[in-house]
Amino acid sequence: MTEVQTDNAERIKQHFAVRVINEARIILEVWQKAQTQEWTKQEAETMLAAAERLQKYAERFEQQAHANIAADLLSCLGKINEQRGRLTTERIEEMTALMQALTQTGLRQDDQNAAGFVVPILRRPLYIALSSLTQAQHLSTQLNFFGVQSETFSDAQAFKQAVNERRPPVIILDVDFFGPEQGLTLAQSIQNDPEVAIPILFYSQHDADALVRLAAVRAGGEGFIVGELEISELLELVESFSRTSHFDPYRVLVVDDSKAQSTFTERTLNGAAIITRSVNDPTLALAQMMEFAPDLIILDMYMPQCSGPELAKVIRQSERFVGMPIIYLSGEEDLGKQLNAMSQGADDFLTKPVMPHHLIATVRNRAIRARNLKARMVRDSLTGLYSHTHILQLLDDACARALKNGQPLSFVMLDIDHFKKVNDTYGHPMGDKVIKSLALYLKQRLRKTDHIGRYGGEEFALVLPNTNAENAAKVVDEIRQRFSEISYPAQPQDLSCAFSAGVAQFAEGLDAMKLANLADQALYVAKHKGRNQVAIAEQP
């Protein structure tokens, strides 16, 4: 093949690679929308068309993993159509698994070493308009490193013209862009349609009073950052604004002795892409909670074997479920009895018959708050990663699943090399930047189904389901190489860091603590051999 033919073939390959990425992103966005609104005929048709295009482009691009997912997705959509467009718990779980698979193939090479590529957070570049063009360009460079395209602007006219020509998915806008509080006025002028307002992340170098923050909200502000634009915080906000971050559907356990009522509740919530499981015998509820791990419980107040308030007390006695939201759904109309029932461990009370939209909104609001609260409780404050205790709990759960399903599982320990020297030479604020940068890079490069924790200090832990030790080492080694290329501006000279890692694979006879010890021993081996490398633990 001549050099020209090779170049043409490469251009064609890249053309279809971009198309695969775009269709994958559309599918993920549609599913995300279904989880925040409702699954409608329009969403089904949009996803069907995108899945057909994904299959076609993936086959042309010779990307078999994506072609297989597209085929399975078309099959699942066909089943939904046969059920008159109605989502069931089975279909929601099937769709969720396909979305997870689609995200995995986009975020890292799979275990068969098929060609992988990074799916960008956004399909279109975001816009950055800061008072300091140098600061804006520096921020743009950092975003580009993490796969986010952006455009910077130095004057208001060029910014407005760009917005009119192509609406960005997100805007980062200085409150004082082109003059004191002129950014607020500029934001108001570009928000032509409140129904499709552009999400704006406002920035202010100095603290802002309540009136400025109120004006920012009225101008479409979805966030407000003061002081330093921290890249990790910024990327999390951008991802949430663009509604492309993948999360698991909410899970609800319905406990009601009436099969007709529980079926109605289940179908209503399924229609909003909420996974629902019904239990008609309340004495089985606790066992189902352990297995199903719901975000929220809906209880009938009057049941023959056990009343709702009695079951609520039983649930609250378990430390694991002490923060679990409980909603009564009952025909009881007496306000005094409702309040008395809620005082015994419940969070809300809905009266039968309930309007479907009312039920869905209540469940979503409670589930969102519960997840946010739980996330704050189990995550490290500096990095947003799972805490030491929670990552070990997740490892324990993953070991149980791996043993049950016969699938591989790897656990990885990472440690930043010579980190004490970084703190001693450049100060603890620079050390925190390095830690947060590695945390963010791990989140960007690993799958959504992988678990990442801060084990302590400069140590990190990774739980990699369905991954053997060899493939885990390849993935981590690639991250190691790329992380070592990051340069941090500092004095007297710029700083670069590296890390060492130890990998251990789960096997029968091991538990979470033994697996963690094996990974720690492998990490010690990597350190002993000279650091900046990955070692695999020997199987016991």
Positions marked active-site: 458
Query: β-pairing, 459-465 with 409-416?
Result: antiparallel
Q: Which two tokens stand for residue 199?
A: 């999400």
- Report how far residue 329's alpha carbon sits from residue 59's, in angstroms, rounded to the nearest whole number: 49
* Angle at alpha carbon of residue 476, lines to 470 and 482, rounded to 5°: 140
- Report how far residue 10's alpha carbon sits from residue 497's, in angstroms, rounded to the nearest whole number: 34
- Give, for 128, the enclosing helix (H) or strand (E): strand 126-129
Cis amide linkage into residue 465, ω under 30° from 0: no
Chain Cα centroid distance, residue 338: 37
- Report how far residue 32's alpha carbon sits from residue 244's, in angstroms, rounded to the nearest whole number: 7
Contact status, residue 42 vs residue 4, Cβ threshold 8 Å: no
Residue 121 φ then ψ, to 5°: -60, -40
Residues in the chain: 540
Residues 6+ apart with CB under 8 A from 373: 323
Question: Which residue in 198, 307, 292, 310 sits closest to 256, CA to CA?
Answer: 307
- Supply the DSSP string of 276-344, one letter for each residue: EEEES-GGGHHHHHHHH--SEEEE-S--SSS-HHHHHHHHHTSGGGTT--EEEEES---HHHHHHHHTT
Residues 6+ apart with CB under 8 A from 346: 299, 308, 309, 312, 326, 327, 328
Contact status, residue 201 vs residue 234, Cβ threshold 8 Å: yes
Question: Which residue in 108, 88, 201, 65 sits closest to 467, CA to CA?
Answer: 108
- Report how far residue 232's alpha carbon sits from residue 442's, in angstroms, rounded to the nearest whole number: 11
Q: How far is CA 390 from CA 92, 99, 290, 376, in A?
A: 27, 25, 17, 12
Contact status, residue 432 vs residue 381, Cβ threshold 8 Å: no
Taking 3-state DSSP, the helix, strand and coil percentages for the chain, each rounded to the nearest 5, stand at: 55, 15, 30
Question: What's the number of CA atoms in the CB half-sphere (13 Å) around residue 298?
Answer: 34
